[in-house]
Structure 1
């Protein structure tokens, strides 16, 4: 019996070699006919067209789970995801040093997202594919807002770039915590915006009182990142909501919720409801984290239609069609999101427990990464970790002796925990 992530000869070629050859011939004559030729599996189609071959090797990790959903109809989705975990862990180990540096989803996109991506392959020649409007509607339903309150962008970084352009030019004043996700302050600085960086408090939270003191009539934009990157911390819910609502009466507020899906704190609330209340607030989200689509660049802005119209004037292009299809499918794959959340909790708990056992200070992570006190320069720890087969995050001044480590698969985190005493 075949297992998830593998295919027997019968599964890979249900109609035999001659049927595959005939289908390939039809493909060379007419692409539309190949799309209708059920005798050719997706795997064979990719090999025939050269898409599935790179330097003589089939693309690893892209097809096994997708193929399993089609061929092994009797396998439950839960079993498929368990097999995916085993396949991904093996693939990542074979690929070289384990990446625990960019807060990526180690499992990648969901099997259903892969299916949607591959089914959309022939749309790579299209401008303005219909899927963009469909994704906009799917995301609007996902967060509970009208469709005209959603802008689909090339990653959430484009949301931040358009904000810098719309509000930061000609010396526009931007107030932001520091350190935080750097894109908006960095974009603002290149446009000669007056960026006011407010140090975090001693709990690594936004210092809301100090930020409030910096906000005046000349402030064009206030940036909030909750949970915060790189510290993994969550601000007090009510205090932050009061801060956002108060300052929305004076200026525009952007709340970056890239790590929204990983939060376990029971009192955590998105700021989307404040958008619905008509406040000049923008909430940014991304398909890069829990949905595993960082390389496909899909993000979202949630705001009043008039604010989105202002941002749209600075959008530089359209998200790619494959990312749109994958994100649309992933948003509707709640089982996969639950799976990723659970695996992240497992890996995060392993790392935090080990660090506390070693007596290290660790922030209360509500994300897919952990921020801890190394007691030595981050560059030193990076080099030691790399020698053991792991790539970890860089330094984030002024916390140059604190490390940010992204959460890998549970098996990877067990291996990382085992080498911790030798690198700290």
Structure 2
């Protein structure tokens, strides 16, 4: 940028102070230079970032606790990498496309030919609907769950069997298995599940996925895998390496804070990856790929976000239990609890307190989904909780 520093450039463009108030994930990337120059430790910088982000989010208006977003945005190292990527965005087939594929493959422990990089993990699901259901077919899915695959399947004429969750709000694996037949093209599993936040029993789910893969292709959505803190819990990626027709979807939208930059991944056998590649709907943008690669390598930032999320999650769950509320055992960056009154009523109350919470998820229309904000935001939210039930 010739003689103009990144900080000066940020201040005089749409990524300057005005944008930082509305979008705390794009606070000045050049702050990393202070760390690289030995001014402060990275841990100290992250602590300061937490304070800056909390202030910026409050100044931007009602605090967003409804879309399961990372309140801290992308890592400072990802921001610096993004700001240094001004050449590749002019190219078709930029090198970063292969670089992030290889980086993510190492991150999850598979060969690079087992990975497809996509425009967020939602594109993985749209590609699957196209690849497996263009001429009819059936999909088996728990319900409620993340809605994109069932919705796209129905749009393309598939029969979607939405199997109600069991009394614990877990996947009803027995009933799902009963719906699988010779015309089933896809079996969908979301673990941890959205919107209920809970983690399935590992052994039971593995047996179900393995058995189902003998009859159909299975897609395991692990968008919230990074927030699980149950000892011994493993990704289903190891089943992919055994050669089973299993596809694991992952995202950079949650832990890595890149929801607006659209970066996701599919992990599957190379022949399945090749099949999916035929149905991609476009190319992931360079900025998302550059930031995604840097974030995958920034393990200190990942640990920071996980710790802050666990702190806020525990704070909210403890407060709800103290109030006598039924709370799902969350292993995500959101909490699902039974308010005992319509979600719309809860939304109105919390908006008056400066918070936006999630919508209704039928049939759980008196349950609320609340995303985890910064610890300071969660203290404010918890303080406002009792008034919601007065």
Tell me the CA shift for residue 312 of structure 1: 1.1
Looking at structure 2, the residues matched to 78 and 333 of structure 1 have their Cα atoms a distance apart, in angstroms, of 12
- Asked if the contact 1:252–1:281 (Cα under 8 Å) also holds between the matched residues in 2, the reply is yes
- Asked if the contact 1:296–1:322 (Cα under 8 Å) also holds between the matched residues in 2, the reply is yes
Tell me which of 137, 151, 158 is aligned to 1:172.
137
Relative to structure 1, the CA distance from residue 376 to residue 145 in structure 2 (aligned partners, 3 Å threshold; closer, same or farther) is same
Equivalent residue for 1:69?
32
Looking at structure 2, the residues matched to 281 and 417 of structure 1 have their Cα atoms a distance apart, in angstroms, of 40
Relative to structure 1, the CA distance from residue 206 to residue 63 in structure 2 (aligned partners, 3 Å threshold; closer, same or farther) is closer
- Asked if the contact 1:154–1:298 (Cα under 8 Å) also holds between the matched residues in 2, the reply is yes
The within-5 A match list for 1:122-141 is 122-141=87-106
Tell me the CA shift for residue 266 of structure 1: 1.2
Tell me the CA shift for residue 383 of structure 1: 0.8
Equivalent residue for 1:311?
276
Equivalent residue for 1:233?
198
Looking at structure 2, the residues matched to 157 and 266 of structure 1 have their Cα atoms a distance apart, in angstroms, of 28
Tell me the CA shift for residue 310 of structure 1: 1.2
For the pair 1:366 / 2:331, whether they are aligned, the reply is yes
Equivalent residue for 2:353?
388
Looking at structure 2, the residues matched to 313 and 242 of structure 1 have their Cα atoms a distance apart, in angstroms, of 30
Looking at structure 2, the residues matched to 383 and 52 of structure 1 have their Cα atoms a distance apart, in angstroms, of 32
The within-5 A match list for 1:248-287 is 248-287=213-252
Looking at structure 1, the residues matched to 15 and 383 of structure 2 have their Cα atoms a distance apart, in angstroms, of 36
Equivalent residue for 1:197?
162
Q: TM-score, length-normalised on structure 1?
A: 0.89
Equivalent residue for 2:260?
295
- Asked if the contact 1:223–1:254 (Cα under 8 Å) also holds between the matched residues in 2, the reply is yes
Equivalent residue for 1:3?
none
- Asked if the contact 1:172–1:194 (Cα under 8 Å) also holds between the matched residues in 2, the reply is yes
Looking at structure 2, the residues matched to 287 and 64 of structure 1 have their Cα atoms a distance apart, in angstroms, of 18
Tell me the CA shift for residue 58 of structure 1: 5.8
Looking at structure 1, the residues matched to 232 and 300 of structure 2 have their Cα atoms a distance apart, in angstroms, of 23
Tell me the CA shift for residue 62 of structure 1: 5.6
Looking at structure 2, the residues matched to 322 and 238 of structure 1 have their Cα atoms a distance apart, in angstroms, of 39
Looking at structure 2, the residues matched to 82 and 139 of structure 1 have their Cα atoms a distance apart, in angstroms, of 27
- Asked if the contact 2:195–2:369 (Cα under 8 Å) also holds between the matched residues in 1, the reply is yes
Looking at structure 2, the residues matched to 80 and 360 of structure 1 have their Cα atoms a distance apart, in angstroms, of 37
1:370-389, Cα deviation, whole Å (9 max, x unpaired): 00000000011001111111
Gaps of 5+ in 1: 1-33
Looking at structure 1, the residues matched to 369 and 262 of structure 2 have their Cα atoms a distance apart, in angstroms, of 23
Q: How many residues align?
A: 385
Tell me the CA shift for residue 170 of structure 1: 2.2
Equivalent residue for 1:208?
173
What RMSD over aligned residues (CA atoms) do the two structures have, in Å? 1.3
Q: Please state whether the residue corresponding to 1:349 is helix, strand or coil.
A: helix
Equivalent residue for 2:321?
356
Equivalent residue for 2:107?
142
Relative to structure 1, the CA distance from residue 63 to residue 164 in structure 2 (aligned partners, 3 Å threshold; closer, same or farther) is closer
Equivalent residue for 1:45?
9
Looking at structure 2, the residues matched to 384 and 329 of structure 1 have their Cα atoms a distance apart, in angstroms, of 40
Q: TM-score, length-normalised on structure 2?
A: 0.96
Q: Please state whether the residue corresponding to 1:99 is helix, strand or coil.
A: strand
- Asked if the contact 2:144–2:362 (Cα under 8 Å) also holds between the matched residues in 1, the reply is yes
Tell me the CA shift for residue 267 of structure 1: 3.1
Tell me which of 79, 82, 86 is aligned to 2:51.
86
Tell me which of 64, 88, 101 is aligned to 1:99.
64
Larger Rg: 1
Equivalent residue for 2:370?
405
Looking at structure 1, the residues matched to 241 and 45 of structure 2 have their Cα atoms a distance apart, in angstroms, of 38
Looking at structure 2, the residues matched to 281 and 346 of structure 1 have their Cα atoms a distance apart, in angstroms, of 33
Q: Please state whether the residue corresponding to 1:235 is helix, strand or coil.
A: coil
Looking at structure 2, the residues matched to 81 and 147 of structure 1 have their Cα atoms a distance apart, in angstroms, of 32
Looking at structure 2, the residues matched to 302 and 179 of structure 1 have their Cα atoms a distance apart, in angstroms, of 24
- Asked if the contact 2:16–2:28 (Cα under 8 Å) also holds between the matched residues in 1, the reply is no
Looking at structure 1, the residues matched to 10 and 46 of structure 2 have their Cα atoms a distance apart, in angstroms, of 23
Equivalent residue for 1:181?
146
Q: Please state whether the residue corresponding to 1:232 is helix, strand or coil.
A: coil
